[in-house]
Amino acid sequence: MLTLTANAAQAIRNLTAGAPEPAQGGIRIASSDDDASSLTLSLATAPEPADAVVESEGARVYLDPVAATVLDDKSLDAGADDQGAVSFLVTERAG
């Protein structure tokens, strides 16, 4: 299952803090037309019925079935540039 770094969890909490339902809000990672080589990330108010849910430190990530398979042994990290724009990075899980 995908893991989240502390930076990623904080970035997701920051992004979802202003959502209409922050208690259920998160980010959703989904494949584009069953194409495992192309994943999209978007804000979500709740998971889709088939989504896997990853929760860490109060942050939620919803993964469609293809994304869940592709990211099973990965870690999600986040960083911000000088202007505060957040970017996410998928890395191999350490350990």
Q: What is the H or E stretch that residue 4 is in?
A: strand 3-4
Which residue did the predictor score with more confidence, 36 or 52? 52
Is the whole model's pTM more than 0.75, yes or no? Answer: yes
Question: What ranges do the domains of the chain cover?
Answer: 3-92
pLDDT of residue 9: 96
Please, what is the end-to-end C-alpha distance for the chain in angstroms? 14
The answer to whether 10 and 86 have CB atoms below 8 angstroms apart is: no
CATH fold of the domain at 3-92: Hypothetical Protein Aq_1857; Chain: A; (2.60.300)
Q: What is the mean pLDDT of residues 1-20?
A: 91
Six token digits for residue 7 = 């930076």
The residues, ordered by sequence, that sit 6+ positions from 43 with a Cβ below 8 Å of its Cβ are 15, 16, 19, 25, 26, 27, 28
